[in-house]
Chains A and B, each alone.
Chain A
Amino acid sequence: MSDNIADLYQSLIMERTKAPHHAGRLSAFDGDAEGDNPMCGDRTHLWIRRAGGKLAAIAHETRGCAITTAASDLMGDAVLGKTEAEIYALADAFESLISTGTAPATPDLADLRALGGVHEYRSRHRCATLPWQALRAALKDQSHG
């Protein structure tokens, strides 16, 4: 482990924590879900809209640590324009990156790899995976038909 105390907090994480690109709500949406971590009070609310079999819009309201906020936001980048099957594959790969420290070469995790350092902090794994759990729930949400 490097001696730099901040190696977990890559610049991309800090940027997205301070100025998230996908923060807010969708006025028109077909799925939403909340994820919360009662251990620490981190909370994220996601809204999604599909069009033509793909994810056309996503927004989140996240109240939590830098890792959760950045994870929600970078997830937004990663899943926009993807099919559900592609999103589930990304979710599996990302969760594997966090829990095992490695992820398969495909699908391409791209910027999500900035969160790879979280693997070394077992007590923080939930912070990174919480938004993906919420996204899985939002994709299954039938209540907005």
Chain B
Amino acid sequence: MSDVLHAPTLDIEKIRADFPILGQLVHNKKLVFLDSAASAQKPRVVIDAMVNAMETQYANVHRGLHWMSERTSDAYEGARDKVAALLNARDRSEIIFTRNATESLNLVAHSFGRTHIKPGQAVLISQMEHHANIVPWHMLRDAHGITLRIARITDAGEIDMDDVEAKLADGNVALLSITHMSNVLGTYTPAARLAALAHRYGAKILLDGSQAVVHRAVDVQALDADFYVFSGHKLYGPSGIGVLWARREILDSMPPFMGGGDMIDRVSYERSTWAKPPFRFEAGTPAILEAIGLGAAIDYVSAIGFDAIAAHERDLTEHGIAVLSAIEGLHILGAAQDRGGVISFTLDGVHAHDVATLLDKQGIAVRAGHHCAEPLMGRLGVDSTARASFALYTTRGEIDALAAGLRRVKQVFG
């Protein structure tokens, strides 16, 4: 009972007022935005931080000897500190800025993959990965001769831990690269257990935190992870900025991904030597304004607190599952014990695209399709699904609007 009394709560009206876009009309109806898992909306503080930087203190970073460049470098490096704190990284030099989670994964595949994974060794992924955690490994396989193993999921949409262990058991897996939360099924994977298992068999572990980092506090040290990747735009920050975290000793042993300015120590016409991490992996002018925006987004969610965010989203998810499963002919995919605010579903006799179009006409934005997880669609035996996803600004009322909207869809197709 004291749990209930002390459960952290959000002032949802105040939060919604922080997001200018939520007042928009779509097809003359109030926007009900249930597609935050694809990309989240931005609070005023993020917008202001980027505009303010452009208006008052902008120059290139790490290059100028002048006041503006020093201020901008401070703001950019300040964002790195914020990311380090968000993930509880041991050191700020473990945070690499990229364009997005996809680039972070490609960086690891290219740099770590070609130097630390020998031809014939394997990368293990799961059946519920986003294409961003499949295709780079296909490319590495074709270029470098690694093999790819796929760990099964159960019908409930959870990682089959026995299968993970079976596929690690011969000790030939160099890297377990796996989602921390599925963008289709909402499943949280048992990251700490997976890390322990990977390490027992001599593999490193990469967690794709694109979805997970948005909804709960992440502590890469407590998880005992080796790599962690995410995108800023799903965490209420701008697009164009992503993060790779890796243990410093691993980064020290990795060659650059791209060459150019900012990533070097010395350059002559004959050769160049590389800077230390993180700069070794940040060739060229980085996404300065976007990093500053991401820093503001991290400040924003940290001030609200992940306890409150997680509690709010747990409530929304439970409510969503209850009201959606009450709709006859609607099937929710996955039934994981531990899940975040993503619900994928099918509706008997109505294709997901028709569901999405008819909801859109009612001002309700959901995603429909294969969600960049085509192999998972095959595993689940569907061509496509509709997906509603929740954020800290989502309300129970919006989920009720979704349920009412789906009933109208059924009438049209009745």
> B341-382, CB under 8 A of A: which get 1 and which 0?
000000000111110011001100000111000100100000
- In Å, the complex CA distance between A64 and B413 comes to 15
Q: Taking the complex as formed, is B384 at the interface, i.e. its CB lies under 8 A from any CB of chain A?
A: yes
* Cβ 8 A contact of A124, one of B353, B369, B374: B353
> Considering only CB atoms, which chain B residue lies closest to A69 in the complex?
B351
- In Å, the complex CA distance between A64 and B369 comes to 11
Given contacts A40-B353, A127-B353, contact A6 B384 (CB under 8 A): no
Given contacts A3-B28, A9-B412, contact A39 B369 (CB under 8 A): yes
CB within 8 Å of A: which B362-411 residues: 362, 368-370, 374, 377, 383-384, 408
Q: Taking the complex as formed, is A65 at the interface, i.e. its CB lies under 8 A from any CB of chain B?
A: yes
* Cβ 8 A contact of A65, one of B353, B362, B374: B353
* Cβ 8 A contact of B370, one of A3, A41, A67, A121: A41
Nearest-Cβ distance from residue B61 to partner chain A, whole angstroms = 38
- In Å, the complex CA distance between A41 and B374 comes to 9
Contact assessment for B353 and A5 in the assembled complex, using a CB-CB cutoff below 8 Å: no
Q: Taking the complex as formed, is A1 at the interface, i.e. its CB lies under 8 A from any CB of chain B?
A: yes
**Which secondary structure dominates chain B's binding surface?**
mixed
- A89: chain B residues at CB < 8 Å are none
Contact assessment for A40 and B357 in the assembled complex, using a CB-CB cutoff below 8 Å: no
Q: Taking the complex as formed, is A26 at the interface, i.e. its CB lies under 8 A from any CB of chain B?
A: no
CB within 8 Å of A: which B1-38 residues: 27-28
Nearest-Cβ distance from residue B411 to partner chain A, whole angstroms = 8
* Cβ 8 A contact of A121, one of B357, B377, B412: B357
Q: Taking the complex as formed, is A80 at the interface, i.e. its CB lies under 8 A from any CB of chain B?
A: no
* Cβ 8 A contact of B384, one of A1, A9, A41, A66: A41
- A121: chain B residues at CB < 8 Å are 357
A residues apposed to B, CB below 8 Å? 1, 3, 5-6, 8-9, 14, 38-43, 63-67, 121, 124, 127
B residues apposed to A, CB below 8 Å? 27-28, 350-354, 357-358, 361-362, 368-370, 374, 377, 383-384, 408, 412-413
26 contacts between A and B (CB under 8 A): A1-B27, A3-B28, A5-B358, A5-B361, A5-B362, A5-B408, A8-B357, A40-B352, A40-B369, A40-B384, A41-B370, A41-B383, A41-B384, A42-B353, A42-B383, A43-B383, A64-B351, A64-B383, A65-B351, A65-B353, A66-B350, A66-B351, A66-B413, A67-B353, A124-B353, A124-B357
